[in-house]
Amino acid sequence: MSDVERAARAIEAGDLVVYPTETVYGMGADAVDAEAVERVFDAKGRDRGKPVSLGVPSVERATEYVDPTERELRFMREFLPGPVTVVVQRRAAVPDVLTAGREKVGVRVPDHDLALELFEAADVPVTATSANLSGTGSVREIAELSDEIHEAVAAVLDGGRTDGMESTVVDAESGAIHRRGAMADEIEAWLAEHEE
């Protein structure tokens, strides 16, 4: 069994894993299993009022868990896979704990082969949140993982050093950029050009 398959089975079993993306290392769990999501919050010491995004291997797979508008779908097809988190209306399968009770959820399709391979193998959406303790810096390589995170996860996928710039978080429907990160200028240009 490959490392990716082992990590995917761990996610399906309700455990946590660490995986690389094109931005920073992420912490993965089954994003539609409320108990697994709770474990992510516990491991990170994250405030339950702060939502966590979900990662999927493609825009098509995302539509099983979210209900995007035509504009959001156009935006997603333009920028995903990529270092962008798109905030979209969630479907009923997405638990409240993931979204901190909000109606929308962030969707991430990373432009990283190892992350996409994991998401494909896991066969469930995977939490997409940084693999660090809340309030500490993002992890760009495995050596930077804290002992607490190492102890909390069942598997670690090492993809070498990552870029380190966080994804841009955007609500394509309203045109709001919630967090500027990678590709923020291109995203702003697209939003301005495609104003309804």
Task: Tally Cβ neighbours within 10 Å of residue 143.
Answer: 8
Q: What pLDDT score does 195 carry?
A: 79
- Measured CA angle at 42 (ends 120, 50), to 5 deg: 80
Q: What pLDDT score does 136 carry?
A: 94
35-62 pLDDT tens trace:
999 999 999 999 999 999 999 999 999 9
CA atoms of 188 and 177, how far apart (whole Å): 8
What pTM was computed for the model? Answer: 0.95
Model confidence at 196: pLDDT above 80? no
Given pLDDT bands bounded at 50, 70 and 90, which one contains residue 164? confident
CA atoms of 56 and 123, how far apart (whole Å): 9
**Three-class DSSP category at 191:** helix
What does the domain layout of the chain look like in residue ranges? 3-68+86-163
Given pLDDT bands bounded at 50, 70 and 90, which one contains residue 163? confident
165-191 pLDDT tens trace:
899 999 999 999 999 999 999 999 999
Homologous superfamily of the 3-68+86-163 domain (CATH): DHBP synthase (3.90.870.10)
Residue 89, strand partner residues: 104
Q: Where are the beta strands (DSSP E) in the chain?
A: 17-19, 26-28, 53-55, 84-89, 104-108, 126-130, 155-156, 168-171, 176-179
144-157 pLDDT tens trace:
999 999 999 999 99
Q: What pLDDT score does 131 carry?
A: 97
Residue 53, strand partner residues: 128
DSSP string, 35-53: HHHHHHHHHHT--TTS--E
Given pLDDT bands bounded at 50, 70 and 90, which one contains residue 1? confident
Among the listed residues 34, 6, 32, 33, the one whose alpha carbon sits nearest the alpha carbon of residue 18: 6
